[in-house]
């Protein structure tokens, strides 16, 4: 049920790697537990972020939740559409609802992420 081509973190973020650039978002599991998302706070491009530390915030009608980066690197692009259409996160968490693109600084960090299968077992174990 989780896309096979992505890597996953325990904080429910996903990462898609392509030529040293990581596209990052939050998983359908995270989106469903948050409910209607109404606001996403993201840093500016150029910001350096560190694996497993927080870089933004998602606010839903029910609760606010921090977003943690699955990888270290420099943000080269943010999804500006989310500012006016936060519902993209609910409707399309793996495509239109991506959050940021990051220039990956350390490829060895991938080891600390999960495959789709591992993430699915992780989610099932937790619930």
- Closer Cβ to another protein, 20 or 35, answer by number: 35
Angle of CA points 104, 68, 6, to nearest 5°: 60
Told to check if 96 binds another protein by CB under 8 A, we report no
Told to check if 35 binds another protein by CB under 8 A, we report yes
- Provide, rounded to whole angstroms, the least separation between the CB of residue 21 and another protein: 28
Question: DSSP string spanning 42-87?
Answer: ---TT-EE-TTSEEEEEEESS-EEEEE-SS-EEEEEE-THHHH-TT
Site residues for another protein, 37-76, by CB under 8 A, read 38-39, 41, 57, 59, 61-62, 64
**Region binding another protein by CB under 8 A among candidate stretches 10-18, 22-30, 31-39, 96-104:** 31-39
Measured in degrees and rounded to the nearest 5, phi and psi for residue 59 equal -115, 125
């Amino acid at each position: 049920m989780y896309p096979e081509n992505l890597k996953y973190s325990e904080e429910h973020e996903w990462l898609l790697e392509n030529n040293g650039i990581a596209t990052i978002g939050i998983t359908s599991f995270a989106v469903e537990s948050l409910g209607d998302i109404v606001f996403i706070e993201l840093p500016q491009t150029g910001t350096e972020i560190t694996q497993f530390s927080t870089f933004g915030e998602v606010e839903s009608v029910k609760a606010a939740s921090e977003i943690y980066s699955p990888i270290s690197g420099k943000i080269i692009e943010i999804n500006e559409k989310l500012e006016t259409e936060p519902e993209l996160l609910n409707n399309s968490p793996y495509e239109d609802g991506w959050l940021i693109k990051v220039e990956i600084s350390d490829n060895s960090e991938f080891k600390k992420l999960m495959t789709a299968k591992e993430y699915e077992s992780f989610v099932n174990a937790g619930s």
